[in-house]
Amino acid sequence: MLAQIESLSAASSSGVLLDLSAVVMLLCAFACLGSKLFDRYVTYYALQSIVLAFAAAVVGHALGQPDLWVLAVATLLIKGIAIPLATRRFLLDRLELHRDVAISTGLSTSLILGAALTAFAFLAIRPATLPHALVASAVVPISTAIILLGGLCMVVRRHTIAQLIGWLILENGVFLGAITLTATFPFIVEAGIFLDLVAAVLIMITFVSGLANRLATASSPELRGLRH
Amino acid sequence: MTALVLLVPALPLLAAFAPLAGVRARGLGIAIAAGGVGALACAIAVAVDVGRHGAYSAFSGFLYVDALSTFFTITIALVVTLAGVGSIAFLRTEERRSELDLLQLRLYTIFFALFAGLMLASLETGNLGLLWVLIEASTLASAVLVGLEAKARSLEAAWKYIIISSFGVTMALVATLFLYYAATPLLLSPNQRLTWPALFAHAHLLQHDSLRLAFLLSVIGYGTKVGLAPMHTWLPDAHSEAPSPASAMLSAALLNTGMYAIIRFQAIALPELGRYTNRVLLVFGFASIVIGALFMVRRGNFKRLFAYSSVEHMGIISVALGFGGLLGVYGALLHTLNHAIGKCVLFLTSGELVQRWRTRESRDVSGALTAVPLVGGVLLLGSLAIVGSPPFGLFLSEFTIIRAGFRGSSLLTFLLLALLVIAFIAFVRSTAAMATGEPHAVDEETTARMSPASAIPLVAGMAALLLLGLWIPGGLNELILHSIGAIR
């Protein structure tokens, strides 16, 4: 197993491809953070998921793990196609949402914050944290950065859909970390995680559209009404 | 044995099929309650067997039951039973007043069953990945219950709940990944690297930095579910907007499931990280007690009051785990059981109050003792019990925790005592005013006779609390001691 994982080191071609996919995914997260249009959020998320599926396939190929191929296909179909499609049809089109105005910090400020978080991720996840230099070295810090950027999206955006996309980006970061750090995760667990994600998105979409029916705009300032 | 263990989550799940039988509110409620009773009976049978033959494992660790799991299974099955019986009366009243339509009643049954079944299942797995999957799934099921009334307020609360806890639980997934990674130096199969008994047996060999990250993230992640401050913000909204039996389940069962996961992670981290784990739990615990106690001072929505009291009690349990030692963990487990029963009774009482007075504001309710003596009495006694006054169970468990504290740091223990006093005054001030005084705004709906289904869980719960305050049964004592043995 160790020898297999070493084939993923930065020098090998699979390692390079993996690093490259990770960088593209990070850029997608930044693009989402720097955008103001709901449609773009969904597009960048879809693109990021497709790259994630590619990364899973690369790892699956390098390590000869058939279940990672299954995961790659599932990622492509569900995260790359189904979730973006459902978000567009059931939320963006039906609620006629275009521009996100419920942003608490300016775009440039959030981009600078994002850059700072990325730097922090690289500082925090030094190679020393990782027992062996097993994986393509940049992937783990980058996936940490994507997780932090997803979190940032959820914090600076007040609109429920933006928060949903932020969470999905965060989840993609976790998956990127998962396929490289723990390529051998038991399949049943991975399948369960995936199932939970799908159920969560379905329920969230239902809530958001239900909320939007009752409020003109479903953004979290209205949620303040709940405070006593 | 495998069949018996699987029956514990399966029986409540069966209730999800009750809507197919075409029954109405009464039948749906009875199905839920029957599932709870069955689960409780099976959980006790499993506990007896585990007590005799030790931990039981099957399907390469995906099914794993030791004393700690059986302790939590019994606690949660008990809550499911009480809340299930409470659901019978709740659903009938909602049906009679057409507050919920038939579809909503059916959804309530299905998701209540899923919620209960998934929570019980999560306690019976040794695989930390599957534990995560089941806890997240039970969160999703409960989110539907929170948003069930489909009013703007309840949907908002449900959204807040689902997005904050999904975020938190995702952190717990990262924690699981890092733990898996920390086990890389061990020569274990991939599956065993996620299996709790294997990790626990090799805990001192785990990679230090990854383990530390894993533990910290698990406390933050599962702590979001537990309602530890500052990740507790979803909790008051969700508890106040959910139907009352579901609030009881959230507060008395779901929070404990999260705490169970934290206890498992701490057990793995303790040999390598030592006192660090205790300090982390103390910090989050005290933060929660402070937040809970301060927000209870304000009089307002009484379901929120109970919710903040849950934050406080989860803080107390976390502090007890932080004090550590035999006495600390004993107190934490005993307090888990006592709080679960007490809070379940209080939330069911709140359901009666909401249905009778049609308000959630504490100032609009008064004279409950005169108007409906049983509800008022349980409200008053239940409040006294939950703030830890003798002769109820919580007094005993808080006393144990304080004794554990004095063995370590007396300064922290005095701080804990001071906070408990604040919580006591704040909580009882609100509820005593609701129970006593002259009833006003009363109609025949308010003073309607209690049906047996709504009276039984209240009386049974209070009786159990009183019993636990006077005497800890030998079997329970043994179970708690075995639970501590399983994680040390």
> How buried is residue A215: exposed, middle or buried, by Cβ count under 10 Å (0-12/13-18/19+)?
middle
Report how far Cα A174 is from the mean position of its chain's Cα atoms: 7
What is the spatial distance between Cα A84 and Cα A72, in angstroms, rounded to a whole number?
17
Residues in chain A: 228
pTM here? 0.92
What is the spatial distance between Cα A95 and Cα B43, in angstroms, rounded to a whole number?
48
What is the spatial distance between Cα B354 and Cα B372, in angstroms, rounded to a whole number?
13
Coil, strand or helix: which one is B58? strand
Peptide bond preceding A66 in cis form (omega within 30 of 0): no
pLDDT at A3 over 50: no
- Which residues of chain B from 144 to 163 reach within 8 Å of chain A, CB to CB? 144, 147, 150-153, 155-160, 162-163
Residue B210 vs residues A46, A146, B21: alpha-carbon distances, Å: 31, 19, 51
Residue percentage of chain A with pLDDT more than 90: 28
Average pLDDT over residues A137-147: 86
A185 CB neighbours in chain B (<8 A) are 129, 180, 190, 194
What is the model's pLDDT at position B297?
87
Could you tell me the two tokens for B267? Answer: 């057990």
Q: Test A184 with B163 for CB contact under 8 angstroms.
A: no
SS (HEC) of B391-449 = CCHHHHHHHHHHHHHHHCCHHHHHHHHHHHHHHHHHHHHHHHHHHCCCCCCCCCCCCCC
What is the model's pLDDT at position B119?
95
A181 CB neighbours in chain B (<8 A) are 177-178, 180-181
Coil, strand or helix: which one is B57? strand
Amino acid symbol at B361: E
Give the 3-state secondary structure percentages of chain A, helix then strand then coil, rounded to 5.
Answer: 80, 5, 20
Interface residue of B110, B131, B133 to substitute, partner A, most A CBs within 10 Å: B133
> How buried is residue B36: exposed, middle or buried, by Cβ count under 10 Å (0-12/13-18/19+)?
buried
pLDDT at A133 over 60: no
Cβ pairs A/B, distance under 8 A? 125
Residue A98 vs residues A159, A163, A208: alpha-carbon distances, Å: 12, 15, 16
Provide the mean pLDDT of chain A.
Answer: 81
What is the spatial distance between Cα B364 and Cα B356, in angstroms, rounded to a whole number?
12
What is the spatial distance between Cα B329 and Cα B316, in angstroms, rounded to a whole number?
11
Q: Test B167 with A228 for CB contact under 8 angstroms.
A: no
What is the spatial distance between Cα A64 and Cα B302, in angstroms, rounded to a whole number?
58
What is the spatial distance between Cα B219 and Cα B102, in angstroms, rounded to a whole number?
40
Interface residue of B173, B272, B304 to substitute, partner A, most A CBs within 10 Å: B173
What is the model's pLDDT at position A228?
44
Dihedral of CA atoms B399, B403, B408, B413 in degrees, nearest 10, equals 40
Nearest Cβ partner for B155 among A193, A211, A220: A211
A228 CB neighbours in chain B (<8 A) are 298, 300-301, 304
Residues in chain B: 488
Closest CA to B27 of B79, B80, B114, B91: B91
A68 lies within 8 A of chain B by CB: no
Kindly report, residue by residue over A195-224, the tens digit of the pLDDT: 888 888 888 888 888 877 776 544 555 455
A163 CB neighbours in chain B (<8 A) are 163
Closest CA to A104 of A175, A155, A168, A177: A155
- For A48, other C-beta atoms within 10 Å of its C-beta total 28
A199 lies within 8 A of chain B by CB: yes
Q: Which residue has the tokens 């998701």?
A: B111
Given a contact cutoff of 8 angstroms between Cβ atoms, the answer to whether B184 and A131 are in contact is yes
B213 lies within 8 A of chain A by CB: yes
Coil, strand or helix: which one is B65? strand
What is the spatial distance between Cα B267 and Cα B281, in angstroms, rounded to a whole number?
13
Number of H helices, E strands in chain A: 11, 0
What is the domain partition of chain A in residue ranges?
10-216
User: Nearest-5° angle of CA A11, CA A13, CA A16?
Assistant: 70
Report how far Cα A99 is from the mean position of its chain's Cα atoms: 21
A223 CB neighbours in chain B (<8 A) are 156, 159-160
> Distance (Å) from the C-alpha of residue B210 to the closest C-alpha of chain A?
6
What is the spatial distance between Cα B120 and Cα B402, in angstroms, rounded to a whole number?
30
| Cα dihedral sign, B124-B285-B170-A1 | negative
- Which residues of chain B from 225 to 284 reach within 8 Å of chain A, CB to CB? 237, 241
Interface residue of A6, A8, A129, A159 to substitute, partner B, most B CBs within 10 Å: A129
What is the spatial distance between Cα B427 and Cα B293, in angstroms, rounded to a whole number?
8
What is the spatial distance between Cα A61 and Cα B208, in angstroms, rounded to a whole number?
31
For A154, list phi and psi in degrees, rounded to 5.
Answer: -65, -30
What is the model's pLDDT at position B252?
93
What is the spatial distance between Cα B121 and Cα B138, in angstroms, rounded to a whole number?
10
What is the domain partition of chain B in residue ranges?
2-486
What is the spatial distance between Cα B471 and Cα B460, in angstroms, rounded to a whole number?
16
Beta-ladder partners of A157: A103
Closest CA to B81 of B42, B131, B53: B42
B122 lies within 8 A of chain A by CB: no
> Distance (Å) from the C-alpha of residue A196 to the closest C-alpha of chain B?
6
Given a contact cutoff of 8 angstroms between Cβ atoms, the answer to whether B344 and B248 are in contact is yes
Q: Which residues of chain B have pLDDT under 70?
A: none
Peptide bond preceding A131 in cis form (omega within 30 of 0): no
Beta-ladder partners of A37: A99
Q: Which residue has the tokens 């929660």?
A: B288
B115 CB neighbours in chain A (<8 A) are none
What is the spatial distance between Cα B433 and Cα B144, in angstroms, rounded to a whole number?
33
Q: Test A160 with B184 for CB contact under 8 angstroms.
A: no
Amino acid symbol at B17: F
A182 CB neighbours in chain B (<8 A) are 177, 180-181
What is the spatial distance between Cα B66 and Cα B51, in angstroms, rounded to a whole number?
9
